[in-house]
A = this chain, B = another copy of it.
Amino acid sequence: MKREIYLEITPLNEALEKWLRRLESQGFLKAFPGEKVMVSESLGRITAEPVIARLSSPFYHSSAMDGYAVKYQETFGASEISPKKLKLGEQAVYVDTGDPMPDVFNTVIMIEDVNVIRCQAPGVRYQEDEYIEIISPATPWQNVRVIGEDIVATELILPENHRIMPVDVGAMLAGGYVDINVRRKPKIVIIPTGTEIVEPGSNLKRGDIIEYNSRVLGGLVSEWGGEPVRFRIIPDDIKKLKNAISEAHKVGDMIVVNAGASAGSEDFTSRAISETGEIIFHGVSIKPGKPVIAGIVGNKPVLGIPGYPVSAFITFNLFAKPVIYKWQGMEMAPPEILQAVLSRQAASTLGQEEFLRVKIGKVGDKFIAAPVSRGAGVLMSLVRADGFVRIPAMSEGIGAGSEVDVELLRTKNEIENTIVCIGSHDNALDLLSNSLKKKYPKLSLSSAHAGSMGGLLALKKREAHIAGTHLLDEETGEYNIPFIKKLLPDKKIILVNLVYREQGLLVLKGNPKNIKGFEDLTRNDVVFINRQAGAGTRLLTDKHLRELRIKPEDVKGYEREEYTHMGVASAALTGIADTGLAILASAKALGLDFIPVAKERYDLAIPFEFYDTDMIKALLSIIREDSEFRAMVAKLGGYDVSDMGKVMYDG
Measuring CB to CB, which residues of chain A are less than 8 angstroms from any residue of chain B? 1, 3, 39-40, 43, 50, 55-62, 64, 66, 94, 96-100, 106, 111, 116, 140-141, 145-162, 165-171, 173-174, 176-178, 194, 196, 200-201, 204, 206-207, 209-213, 215-220, 222-223, 262-266, 307, 309, 313, 329-331, 333-334, 375, 377-380, 382-383, 411, 413-414, 427, 430-431, 433-434, 436-438, 440-442, 444, 560, 566-567, 569-571, 573-574, 576, 589-590
B157 pairs with A589, CB closer than 8 A: no
- With A169-B215, A170-B212 given, can you name 6 additional A-B contacts, CB distance below 8 Å? A55-B204, A146-B570, A156-B430, A160-B434, A166-B216, A331-B441
A333 pairs with B173, CB closer than 8 A: no
Given A156-B434, A159-B438: A174 in contact with B40 (beta carbons within 8 A): no
Residues of B with C-beta under 8 A to A170: 212-213, 215-216, 309, 379
User: Residue A160 contacts which of B43, B152, B438 (CB distance < 8 angstroms)?
Assistant: B438
B150 pairs with A207, CB closer than 8 A: no
Residues of B with C-beta under 8 A to A438: 159-161, 329
Between-chain CB contacts (< 8 Å), 19 pairs = A43-B219, A56-B570, A64-B377, A145-B377, A146-B574, A147-B574, A152-B566, A154-B589, A155-B566, A156-B434, A159-B433, A159-B437, A162-B437, A167-B379, A173-B211, A174-B210, A174-B212, A333-B413, A334-B413
A590 pairs with B66, CB closer than 8 A: no
**Complex Cα spacing A356 to B431, Å:** 44
B150 pairs with A206, CB closer than 8 A: no
B140 pairs with A66, CB closer than 8 A: no
**Complex Cα spacing A95 to B377, Å:** 17
Given A149-B377, A161-B441: A576 in contact with B141 (beta carbons within 8 A): yes
**Complex Cα spacing A252 to B219, Å:** 29
Residues of B with C-beta under 8 A to A60: 206-207
A150 pairs with B333, CB closer than 8 A: no
Most buried by B among A161, A168, A220, A436: A161
Residues of B with C-beta under 8 A to A382: 167
The minimal Cβ–Cβ distance linking A162 to chain B, given in whole angstroms, is 7
What 4 A-B pairs have minimum CB-CB distances, sorted nearest first?
A: A166-B219, A154-B589, A173-B212, A156-B430
Residues of B with C-beta under 8 A to A200: 39-40, 173, 177-178
B161 pairs with A437, CB closer than 8 A: yes
A207 pairs with B99, CB closer than 8 A: yes
**Complex Cα spacing A329 to B567, Å:** 32
The minimal Cβ–Cβ distance linking A250 to chain B, given in whole angstroms, is 24
**Complex Cα spacing A603 to B217, Å:** 49
**Complex Cα spacing A212 to B177, Å:** 11
**Complex Cα spacing A379 to B174, Å:** 9
Given A154-B566, A441-B161: A166 in contact with B96 (beta carbons within 8 A): no
A331 pairs with B265, CB closer than 8 A: no
B59 pairs with A204, CB closer than 8 A: yes
The minimal Cβ–Cβ distance linking A140 to chain B, given in whole angstroms, is 7
Residues of B with C-beta under 8 A to A151: 379-380
User: Residue A380 contacts which of B153, B157, B313 (CB distance < 8 angstroms)?
Assistant: B157
**Complex Cα spacing A206 to B101, Å:** 9
Given A100-B207, A219-B43: A383 in contact with B168 (beta carbons within 8 A): yes
B150 pairs with A379, CB closer than 8 A: yes
B307 pairs with A223, CB closer than 8 A: no
Residues of B with C-beta under 8 A to A567: 148, 152
Residues of B with C-beta under 8 A to A216: 166-167, 169-170
B150 pairs with A178, CB closer than 8 A: no
Minimal Cβ-Cβ distance residue in B for A101: B206
Minimal Cβ-Cβ distance residue in B for A440: B331
Residues of B with C-beta under 8 A to A173: 200, 210-212, 215
Given A94-B1, A147-B574, A156-B433: A66 in contact with B263 (beta carbons within 8 A): yes
Minimal Cβ-Cβ distance residue in B for A94: B1
Residues of B with C-beta under 8 A to A333: 411, 413-414, 442
Given A167-B383, A413-B333: A146 in contact with B571 (beta carbons within 8 A): yes
Given A66-B265, A150-B377, A200-B178: A43 in contact with B222 (beta carbons within 8 A): yes
**Complex Cα spacing A438 to B156, Å:** 14
The minimal Cβ–Cβ distance linking A617 to chain B, given in whole angstroms, is 16
Residues of B with C-beta under 8 A to A437: 159-162
**Complex Cα spacing A557 to B50, Å:** 35
The minimal Cβ–Cβ distance linking A261 to chain B, given in whole angstroms, is 11
The minimal Cβ–Cβ distance linking A319 to chain B, given in whole angstroms, is 16
Minimal Cβ-Cβ distance residue in B for A46: B441
**Complex Cα spacing A355 to B232, Å:** 52
**Complex Cα spacing A58 to B198, Å:** 13
The minimal Cβ–Cβ distance linking A434 to chain B, given in whole angstroms, is 4
Residues of B with C-beta under 8 A to A378: 149-150
A441 pairs with B154, CB closer than 8 A: no
Residues of B with C-beta under 8 A to A375: 149-150
**Complex Cα spacing A600 to B116, Å:** 53
The minimal Cβ–Cβ distance linking A618 to chain B, given in whole angstroms, is 12
